[in-house]
Amino acid sequence: MDPFTYASLAQIRILLLPVGNIRRSTYDKWAQDIRGIDNVQLADITTDVKDERSRFMPNHQLASGYLHLSYPTHPPPDSHTPLSLFRTSSFPLVAIGIASCGENDSLATVLTQFQTSLHEVFPHDSMFPLASNCFVFEESDSSTNINLGDSFPGLVVIPNAMGHKKTYVGTLIADLCSKVLVELATVMQTLESPLGNEYLNATPFPILPPASELPRSLDDEPRRDSMPLLPSHTSQPDLASPAFRSKSPLGIKRTSTIGPSLLQTHRHSSLPTSPAPTKKRPTTIGVASSHGRLFKVLADFFLLAGRLEEATIWYTESIVLFKHPQDAPWHASALEGLATIPVVEAWSSTHGVNGTAGDKDPWADIADKLAQAIALYPKAVPTTEPEATLSLLAYLYCSSILRHSTLLYSVWSSKGWGPLAFTSMIQPGPSPFLPATLANNASPTSASSARNSYAALERLTSITGITRAQISASLSQAHGPWLLHLDARERVRTLQFIAAMFGSLGHVRKEAYVLREVLGCILDLIVCGRDERGTGSARVLSAGLTARNTPLGGAAQGTVGIRENERTEGNESILRLVKHVCRVHGIDLEAVKLVDITALNRDSLQSESSEAAELDEEFMASTREPFGWPELQIGIIREAIAVAEALPDYPAVAQFSLSSLKLLHPVMSAGDQHHLYSTASRALLTAKRRGERRAVDYWSGKPVVSIEVLPLPLVRLPIEKPLSILSHSATGTTAMLTGVKDPFLYNPRKLMSGQAKTVLVQNEPFELVVTLQNPYVFDLDLQSLQLSTSGVPFVSKASPVVVPANSYHPVTISGRALEPGTLVVRGCIVQAPGGVSREFILPLSTDEEEERRSGRRSAIECEAGRSKHAGLDARPWEKLSKRGSTQPGTTSSSTAKKTIRFLECKVVPEQPLLRIRRTSLTHGAVMLYNGEMSTIRITLENVSSMAVDLLRLTFDDSTIAPAQQALADGDLSVFETYETEYDLVHRPVFTWNSEREPHQIEPGRKRVITVNCFGKVGCTSGVVHVSYALVHRLPASLQEPPEVFYTRQLSYPVLVTVYHMLECQAMDILSYTGATTTKSTNDADDTSLDIKTRMSLLHVGEIADWCIFSIEVRNTYGRPFEVTFERNQEGVDFASVTSLVAPGSTMRVVLPVKKISLSEEHVSRPIPMLSDRQYVVTASNLTAAQERAQRELFWYREELFKVVHGRWRENGGTRAGDLSLRQQRMTLPMLESLRVETARVRMTLVQYDGEGNVQGVPLDPAGTKYLPHPNEFVYLQTAIVNLSPSELILTLNLTLEPSDHVVYQGELLDIPIGRLGKGESYEVETPVAFVACGRFDFSAEVRALGTSRDSSLVGYGKMLIAVNDS
């Protein structure tokens, strides 16, 4: 569209036409040079005409002033033909053809083409152009060798070798302007006739009839010789008749005669040849009509001729004569001409010097005249042809308003009345709303340019005194229902000017409102143009998406429909307007990007900075606040989609629909969401079918919520082990594979030191779970979903996914890594139907990242309430650009320091794979007696292509965890801790002899392993873990020597049932007495085998060296069992005792055991810990003596269990096992009986006969009591033997009870024994006499000197005496 110029009434319009096959670049080049000539000085206007036709020529050669030129791009529409006399300046008065000529081109052909172009642009009966010429530019330096002479009038050849072509072209344009002035005089001469004046006043917008209907001119004969004669008429035509109105609007007819290679144009006129003074000319006009219109036309011609003084005079004269209401438009037009003259004069006189203003603004009078003109146009009431007249009146009315608004805006934007204002009103240039004083002003469709601030705009108001409200009020007058009377082109031009000025004033919402109407007008033109080009079938196929589903009625079956190719020129500009309008209302239609498929090169491995920027963009989008009125926004979106469909531009339809869904789906109804989604889907299918190169990017936000790598099954999970552990002994290897026992029973570091990376195996499939989200009310269809990885090569298959509406949907993706190394899972690559794929990265949610995001969110929330954003500044992107937390300077440092971490998986080399083929158990269950040992055979099969060269077994059962927990709690005593550890270490449920089992399993082969199962009360279940690996790999398959290797583990659960049938209880250790080996009188005749066996077992040598071990065995089961206790003691013959324990009965078993002697160093050792735990502090409140006694009890108990063992066997069966004595406790009396005393004390009673011979005192039958007679002297002999390995200094204390009835000789206390070495003995003899009958108890204590009182007792003996008279 041509820009509206304030001084258009003073400009001669020159239309440039391309002629022939001239290249576009060549035409643009010369057209640009010609358009650079925007004025011609009057001094350059020369002509040889000296008659009446020179009336508009400059008065003299040194005349000051200019002819102003403009170069429209299009001729006016045919509907404006009635304005040819009313506003001649709106029509092209000059037509210039631009052609290029080579060596082989014919100038006659070029001239013919130029004349043809003129006839195509201008109707045959049009009076315009008044002058024409064709400029032919040579393409090469060679001459065409054609002498033009007078053979080709209207054609000028400009040689390529000519210098200063622009100056020469300016001279040619000045000559054409001279011809225009001559032709204007010819037209004026016709109008000055009485008939011409009557025609001029006949209608509101008169047109002259053809020249044949005008009377013959009264010019002199010489003039007739040069001009064709006009036919004369005896009567004037009826000016009001319809026949007259139906005549051609042409006032002057152009005829042409084309001869061989020649073309001649003749102008017909009735103007006289002799000039007449201007002031006498009204006397020649008839008195039937007013002279006002004639004077106004005369003033218009003088204004075009640059003679401003004459124009002012005749405008003033015409205004005085305009009295009739029909003359209101002429009156208004004269006022517009008067308003134009001061601006042209100011431009001509200043030449860049600012004008000075007095008390009144210099533009005030001009504005008043324009305001009067605006008020006069609506007063005109058309009486004939109201439709055509109303259209012209609406056009003139809107033009006057735009002229008034342009005046105010030019002065306001130019900071006052001065050269900038004059230049902007006369030669505004291609961007009239981007003056130098508003350098930052954005174009109406610019989404990224920064508009002027409110302060900058108000500063112009303070300088000029013109407010933006005044300009807006003047401009708003042009917007009204009268726009419907305008032609489509003029309506678009007017609305475009209104929108552009509103945008430059900062009224962006008003600009967007008017631009919506501009789009409506443009769409009307598009639809009308489409209707004119083709018929129904083509239009149906190209009308848009909605017409695609309508059946083509009337088409015969088998008819092939032909679709015309749509012209896409200008579509991008229309879509820019649509996007700008939506952006003003807070809708970013480019939220979903359009990408070129052919130039698509999207590297999935983006730079770290771009990844960080993408994450920040997603974070900002999640914190975006809503803006605008949802109902209005949805309505505007519907309009935008309708515009894109009408063009049609199917990728834009999809982009607009999907962008709207992405941004406004929270406020959309379900029906709107379904409609937009279906519209986008149809548009994408249509675009794909038509071979569209553009496609939409993925649009539905970030669909990936989380990615989780599913752990491998336990049978496939590789476990890392250090290779250095294989250099140890076999036991170390066994310990390693059974799980190296941590020296700490509870080690928190071991619990925290889990593997940071998920371990995968090369060439083995694994699975990931991707969680997708769909916030819409429809099912979201994803054409492709696949993983985005880096590191080692990874193979996975992309799959389509349908995400249900308003839900989170997990999707399982399987893949495999092709090489060992590190696999980085960056995110997912998602592709919607008809769109392009896009990578969505998903970093790990580390503590640093969460802290950073929390800080950003807090900063945004803090800034959101700190300042208030009004108007368009409240749009999300405007607020985002003004936030301090989102400025580039504040985020660059944090982005630079931030390192994005992704989910990493460690891929290990290929591993062998075993499976359990079969076992010897039925249903995986085993039933045992307590203490019974059984075997389990497990068959392993190698199902992989790799051999196994390392095989180890580990076990677990239900008794281990409670025991470990009890140890970890630390509430057990030292003795209980040892027993718990002993049970775990020495009595496991499952055992395996690794030395007897082979470790090598070749691919496809089987191997049987044997596991021992021990019956332990309380065990209900167990697991056999088989760990295997390939340690010794081929060197060719290794990149470098590894430091670790990987094992896999098979687990076989076993259900264990243990029957508790025998219980050991009441263990006791007794000392030997004489009664022990004495046969009872009741058993004298008993010759049973059991009695004989027991008696023979109890008969030992020196009874002082022996003790008796006894224990009770109770059978709680329903079957009898044989119980055997064995004694296996060093230096003593093997002995055993067997008893049959019936169901429900209890049997005591007695077994003699030789006393045990342990060294002091041995018994003083602390109780050991079998688990080798470190830093275990024992909290004990025992004294030193109590602790010593506890240690002695422990060590002597352990020594006893080494000597005595128990076994059982099922009576009549083959099942057998061990009896455990670990639950039995030892007491101090038992300890005294078991251990060998330090000093042995033997007490005997003897008497002497008369000869001094020793005679024994009689004993009772059991041999436990002495039977002396009362009142007789007997001798108590006490023998002390040192059994310790060292010398002792001993003393003896004797106790005789009751002491009142015993008479003795010597001392009883602290009897010195002296120093006794190892094995030495000493005997003390004490004479005693019993003075009464009864029972007496004698005891002896041996104490060692040099020790404490508590530990000085080293020997003890006692004696029972029964004194009787008989």
Q: What's the pLDDT at 1028? A: 92
Give the span between the Cα atoms of 614 and 659, in whole angstroms. Answer: 18
Q: Which residue matches tokens 């342990």?
A: 1158
Per the model's pLDDT, the better-predicted residue between 833 and 897 turns out to be 833
For the segment 1003-1024, the average pLDDT, to the nearest whole number, is 92
Burial 636-656 (b: 16+ CB within 10 A, else e): bbebbbbbbbbbbbbbbbbbb
Which residue from 486, 396, 506, 383 is spatially nearest to 440, judged by alpha carbons?
Answer: 506
pLDDT at 1041: 64
CA 834 from chain centre, in angstroms, equals 21
What would the pLDDT profile of 9-19 be if each residue is shown by its tens digit?
999 999 999 99
By mean pLDDT, which of 11-25, 522-536, 781-795 is the weakest?
Answer: 522-536
Instruction: Please list, in sequence order, all residues whose beta carbon lies within 8 angstroms of the beta carbon of residue 935, skipping any fewer than 6 positions away.
Output: 920, 1010, 1011, 1012, 1013
Query: What pTM value is reported for the model?
Result: 0.69
Contact between 1203 and 1128 under an 8 Å Cβ cutoff? The reply is yes
Count other Cβ atoms within 10 Å, centred on residue 1039. Answer: 9
Q: Which segments of 943-1003 are extended strands (E)? A: 950-957, 990-991
Q: Where are the beta strands (DSSP E) in 1249-1319?
A: 1254-1256, 1265-1266, 1273-1282, 1288-1297, 1302-1304, 1311-1316
Angle between helices 670-689 and 650-664 (to 10 degrees): 150
Token pair belonging to 63: 């005349």
CA distance 1068 to 913: 56
Kindly tell me if the per-residue pLDDT of 1070 is higher than 50.
Answer: yes
Question: What does each C-alpha distance from 1061 to 388, 411, 925, 1122, 1219 come to in angstroms?
Answer: 123, 117, 20, 12, 11
Out of 348-352, 387-391, 732-736, the most confident range is 387-391
pLDDT-based confidence at residue 564 (cuts at 50, 70, 90): low
Q: Residue 1283 has what pLDDT?
A: 84
pLDDT given at position 269: 34
- Which residue carries 């124009």 as its tokens? 311
Among 5, 12, 6, residue whose Cα is nearest residue 367: 6
- What mean pLDDT value characterizes the chain? 79
Average pLDDT on 249-254 reads 33
Closest CA to 271 of 327, 224, 323: 224
- The answer for residues whose C-beta is within 8 angstroms of residue 894's C-beta and 6 or more apart is 852
pLDDT in tens, 1308-1351: 898 998 888 888 889 999 999 999 999 999 999 998 887 766 66
The larger pLDDT score, comparing residue 526 to residue 1263, is at: 526
Cα distance between residue 236 and residue 250, in whole Å: 18
Query: Hey, is 400 helix, strand or coil?
Result: helix
Burial class for 1273, CB neighbours closer than 10 Å (0-12, 13-18, 19+): middle
- Where does the pLDDT of residue 1129 fall: very low under 50, low under 70, confident under 90, or very high at 90 and above? confident
Closest CA to 300 of 313, 311, 316: 311
pLDDT band at 62 (very low <50, low <70, confident <90, very high): low
**How high is the pLDDT of residue 898?**
59
Give ∠ CA 334-340-346 in degrees, rounded to 5.
145
pLDDT of 588 strictly over 70: yes
> 203, 242 in Cβ contact below 8 A?
no
Q: List the structure tokens of 331.
A: 């009156």
Residue whose C-alpha is closest to residue 1243's, from 1292, 1312, 1304: 1292
CB 605 within 8 A of CB 555: no
In this predicted model, what pLDDT tens digit does every residue of 1216-1269 receive, in sequence order? Answer: 999 989 888 889 888 888 888 888 888 899 988 878 788 888 888 777 788 898
Q: Are strands 92-101 and 11-18 parallel, antiparallel or unpaired?
A: parallel
Least-confidence region, from 145-149, 664-668, 1126-1130: 145-149
Q: What is residue 528's predicted lDDT score, i.e. its pLDDT?
A: 80
Summarize pLDDT for 936-989 with one digit per residue, the tens. Answer: 999 999 999 999 988 888 899 998 888 888 888 878 888 888 888 888 888 899
Sign, Cα dihedral of 698, 703, 708, 713 = negative
Enter the tokens of residue 1353. 């007792």
Helix, strand or coil for residue 976?
helix
Mean pLDDT along residues 709-734 = 74
Q: Is 1293 left (phi over 0), alpha (psi -120 to 50) or beta?
A: beta
Kindly give, in sequence order, each residue whose CB lies less than 8 Å from that of residue 440, ignoring residues fewer than 6 positions away: 449, 450, 451, 452, 456
Strands 262-267 and 254-259: antiparallel
Cα(1234)–Cα(359) distance, integer angstroms: 137
Which of these, 555, 546, 491, 542, lies nearest to 519 by C-alpha position?
Answer: 491
Measured CA to CA, the distance from residue 1212 to residue 1215 in angstroms comes to 9
Res. 337 pLDDT band, cuts 50 70 90: very high
Write out pLDDT tens, residues 1131-1181: 888 888 999 999 999 999 998 988 888 888 888 888 887 766 554 555 567
Using DSSP, state whether 1312 is helix, strand or coil. Answer: strand
User: Scanning the structure block, which residue is given the tokens 């640009």?
Assistant: 32
Residue 302 near residue 314, CB atoms below 8 Å = yes
Q: Where are the beta strands (DSSP E) in 576-627?
A: 594-596
1266: its two tokens? 């002495």
- What's CA 1304's distance to the chain center, in Å? 109
What is the number of other CB atoms lying within 10 angstroms of the CB of residue 52? 22
Report the first-to-last Cα separation within the chain, whole angstroms: 160
Percent of the residues in the chain that have a pLDDT greater than 70, as a whole number: 78
SS (H, E, C) 376-391: HHHHCCCCCCHHHHHH
Q: Where are any strands of DSSP class E within 975-1077?
A: 990-991, 1006-1014, 1021-1029, 1044-1059, 1062-1071
Please say whether the dihedral angle defined by the alpha carbons of residues 1303, 1308, 1311 and 1316, taken in this order, is positive or negative. Answer: positive
- Poorest-pLDDT segment among 576-590, 731-745, 786-800: 731-745
User: What does DSSP assign to residue 1049?
Assistant: E
- Which residue would you say has higher pLDDT here, 739 or 1140? 1140
Query: Is there a contact between 1198 and 1165 (Cβ–Cβ < 8 Å)?
Result: no
Per-residue three-class SS string for 208-236: CCCHHHCCCCCCCHHHHHHCCCCCCCCCC
Which residue's entry shows tokens 């075009």?
Answer: 304
Checking if the pLDDT of 263 tops 90, the result is no
Task: Give one DSSP letter per residue of 131-164, joined into a string.
Answer: EEEEEEEESSSS------TTSSTTEEEE-TT-S-
User: Alpha-carbon distance 209 to 250, whole Å?
Assistant: 6
Lowest-pLDDT range, 281-285, 513-517, 671-675, 908-912? 281-285
Tell me the C-alpha distance between 333 and 300, whole Å. Answer: 9
The more confidently predicted of residues 598 and 297 is: 297
Please compute the mean of the pLDDT values over residues 561-578 and round it to a whole number. Answer: 76
Q: How many CB atoms lie within 10 A of CB 496?
A: 21
What is the rounded average pLDDT of the residues 700-711?
89
